[in-house]
């Protein structure tokens, strides 16, 4: 009997110790929040049914334990799963708003759809009374983006994924007499400027077989990305908010027009020509053929697993888009998924849902490794591209957001009216012609 009692006591002590270890590093418990066992669902477009793996890693097991603690502590059944797909998430939130059934839902929305949800009243104003919205955990660029008229409408935690960047082909540069490390050095010294970039483009672009036609070009890729990055690096933008929280067309500025004109010259003088009859994305395969020095594209094209450049024979590096003047801030134009709450709850409920989301989106206690973002990136490129370029562009001070997404997609709002038409007209002419349509979009968003 004594032996049995001793075993029971030992087992109880083990459970207590495990519980203490499990909760080490967990957030402080906030009293008075109790969901009465209700289900709260975070709906995204990638998690499937949200089922846990049967054979978790140590880190996965720790995450499960942490999330179980959230549910037990606040008497809630909080979980994350897939609702629809990338193109339907906003419509699902609108449908839920229109047929509200009393359940608790948060939606992770792709950035091109958030503007419509805000403009038409589907998104609840975010009550941050139960969280510290000014902590480094929350993304300052996205908080600024999602604040309209002084009111916050969406959340994003963590650093942004860099987007627009400038790749280079090491072999092509070396054959043109350029040591690619000098580009990294210029970037590190704050001297990676438009002029330095253009000097390299002049050196790379040439006719190597003397047939009167260039066969090596300075650059190809997404002209849209180049124009947008040039605009923001020059301190310009396309749409902005005034002191009354109203969005307006802001592209008729010297900063924006100068950047667009510079980009137009780059395309005219150093850009690889589009083959006759080619698809819009012809440049993705052309880049891998190795006849261009630089490639204007987004980070996921090279750094992500199974990326478009995974089978590229030549070695590549990557730097930020250059800046107009030495010492200017390198930028990347980011576009992150935004978590929104339907405007069907009172402010107190919204605050509690925000509180839960804050807990849920925390790094797993004990596993908040600051280098998790690196993943397999060293497998695809050199250390300087990862440690100097990608790492830098993740930081908030280098991130800009194109407010065009409040009005629609970049292609729909700025494509044929501006970015795709620069080859045949000046920026000033296109901006003057497009202004009435852009103003009408802004008026609709502003409720005029």
> pLDDT value at position 80?
97
Mean pLDDT along residues 263-289:
96
CA-nearest of 244, 400, 270 to 332 is: 400
Contact 220, 286 (CB under 8 A): yes
Phi, psi of 294 (to 5 degrees): -125, 155
What's the burial of 23, exposed, middle or buried (CB within 10 Å: 0-12/13-18/19+)? middle
> pLDDT value at position 21?
42
Q: Which domains does the chain have, with CATH numbers?
A: 30-160+336-362 (3.40.190.10), 164-334+376-446 (3.40.190.10)
CA-nearest of 398, 345, 407 to 192 is: 398
The DSSP line for 159-199 is: PPPP-EEEEEEHHHHHHTT--THHHHHHHHTT--BHHHHHH
pLDDT digits (tens, 9 = 90+) for 420-440: 999 999 999 999 999 999 999
> pLDDT value at position 268?
95
Q: Is pLDDT of 122 > 80?
A: yes
pLDDT digits (tens, 9 = 90+) for 363-405: 999 887 778 899 999 999 999 999 999 999 999 999 999 999 9
Give the H or E element holding residue 296: strand 292-298
How many residues comprise the chain?
A: 448
> pLDDT value at position 193?
98
Provide the pLDDT confidence category of residue 255 given band limits of 50, 70 and 90.
Answer: very high
Please tell me the least confidently modeled range out of 172-186, 206-220, 290-304, 319-333: 206-220
Provide the pLDDT confidence category of residue 246 given band limits of 50, 70 and 90.
Answer: very high
Neighbours of 413 (CB within 10 A): 23
Q: Is pLDDT of 3 > 90?
A: no
> pLDDT value at position 154?
97
Q: Which residues pair with 80 in a beta bridge?
A: 42
> pLDDT value at position 388?
98
Please tell me the least confidently modeled range out of 6-15, 25-34, 80-89: 6-15
Among the residues of 271-324, which ranges form H helices? 283-288
Provide the pLDDT confidence category of residue 11 given band limits of 50, 70 and 90.
Answer: very low
**What pTM was computed for the model?**
0.88
pLDDT digits (tens, 9 = 90+) for 51-99: 999 999 999 999 999 999 999 999 999 999 999 888 899 999 999 999 9
Give the H or E element holding residue 249: strand 247-249
Mean pLDDT along residues 315-319:
98
Please tell me the least confidently modeled range out of 25-34, 110-119, 309-318: 110-119
CA-nearest of 54, 12, 27 to 357 is: 27
> pLDDT value at position 298?
96
Q: Is pLDDT of 252 > 60?
A: yes
Mean pLDDT along residues 104-116:
92
Mean pLDDT along residues 240-253:
94
Alpha-carbon gap, residue 296 to 334, rounded angstroms = 15
CA-nearest of 195, 180, 128 to 293 is: 180
Pairing mode, if any, of strands 332-334 and 399-401? parallel
Percent residues over pLDDT 70 in the chain: 95
Q: Is pLDDT of 280 > 80?
A: yes
Alpha-carbon gap, residue 216 to 154, rounded angstroms = 46
Q: Is pLDDT of 13 > 70?
A: no
Alpha-carbon gap, residue 175 to 170, rounded angstroms = 9
Phi, psi of 262 (to 5 degrees): -65, -45
Contact 408, 115 (CB under 8 A): yes
Q: Is pLDDT of 286 > 70?
A: yes
> pLDDT value at position 17?
40
Contact 435, 443 (CB under 8 A): no
Alpha-carbon gap, residue 370 to 136, rounded angstroms = 13
Phi, psi of 258 (to 5 degrees): -65, -45
């Amino acid at each position: 009997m004594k032996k049995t009692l001793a075993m029971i006591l030992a087992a109880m002590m083990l459970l207590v110790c495990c519980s203490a270890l499990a909760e080490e590093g967990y957030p402080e418990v906030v009293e008075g929040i109790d969901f009465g066992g209700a289900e709260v669902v975070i709906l995204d477009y990638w998690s499937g049914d949200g089922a846990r793996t049967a054979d978790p890693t140590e880190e996965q097991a720790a995450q499960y334990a942490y999330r179980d603690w959230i549910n037990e502590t606040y008497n809630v059944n909080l979980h994350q799963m897939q609702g629809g797909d990338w193109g339907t998430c906003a419509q699902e939130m609108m449908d839920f708003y229109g047929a509200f059934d009393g359940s608790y839902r948060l939606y992770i929305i792709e950035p091109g759809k958030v503007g419509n949800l805000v403009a038409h009243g589907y998104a609840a104003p975010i009550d941050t009374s139960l969280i510290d919205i000014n902590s480094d955990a929350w993304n300052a660029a996205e908080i600024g983006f999602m604040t309209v008229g002084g009111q916050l409408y969406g959340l994003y935690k963590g650093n942004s994924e860099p987007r627009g960047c400038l790749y280079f082909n090491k072999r092509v540069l070396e054959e043109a007499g350029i040591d690619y490390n000098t580009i990294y050095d210029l970037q590190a010294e704050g001297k990676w400027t438009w002029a330095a970039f253009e000097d390299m483009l002049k050196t790379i672009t040439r006719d190597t077989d003397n047939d009167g036609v260039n066969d090596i070009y300075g650059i190809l890729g997404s002209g849209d990305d180049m124009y947008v990055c040039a605009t923001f690096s020059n301190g310009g933008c396309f749409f902005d908010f005034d002191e009354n929280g109203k969005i307006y067309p802001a592209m008729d500025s010297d900063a924006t027009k100068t950047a667009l004109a510079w980009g137009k010259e780059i395309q005219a003088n150093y850009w690889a020509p589009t083959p006759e009859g080619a698809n819009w994305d012809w440049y993705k395969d052309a880049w891998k053929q190795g006849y261009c020095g630089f490639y204007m594209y987004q980070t996921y094209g090279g750094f992500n697993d199974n990326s478009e450049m995974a089978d590229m024979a030549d070695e590549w590096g990557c730097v930020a888009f250059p800046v107009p003047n030495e010492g200017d801030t390198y930028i990347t134009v980011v576009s992150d998924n935004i978590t929104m709450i339907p405007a069907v709850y009172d402010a107190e409920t919204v605050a509690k849902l925000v509180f839960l989301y804050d807990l849920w989106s925390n790094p797993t206690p004990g596993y908040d490794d600051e280098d998790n973002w690196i993943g397999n990136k060293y497998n695809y490129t050199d250390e300087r591209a990862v440690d100097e370029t990608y790492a830098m562009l993740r930081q908030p001070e280098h991130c800009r957001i194109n407010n065009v997404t409040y009005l629609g997609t970049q292609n729909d709002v700025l494509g044929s009216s501006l970015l795709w038409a620069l080859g045949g007209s000046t920026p000033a002419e296109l901006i003057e012609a497009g202004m009435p349509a852009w103003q009408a979009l802004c008026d609709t968003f502003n409720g005029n």
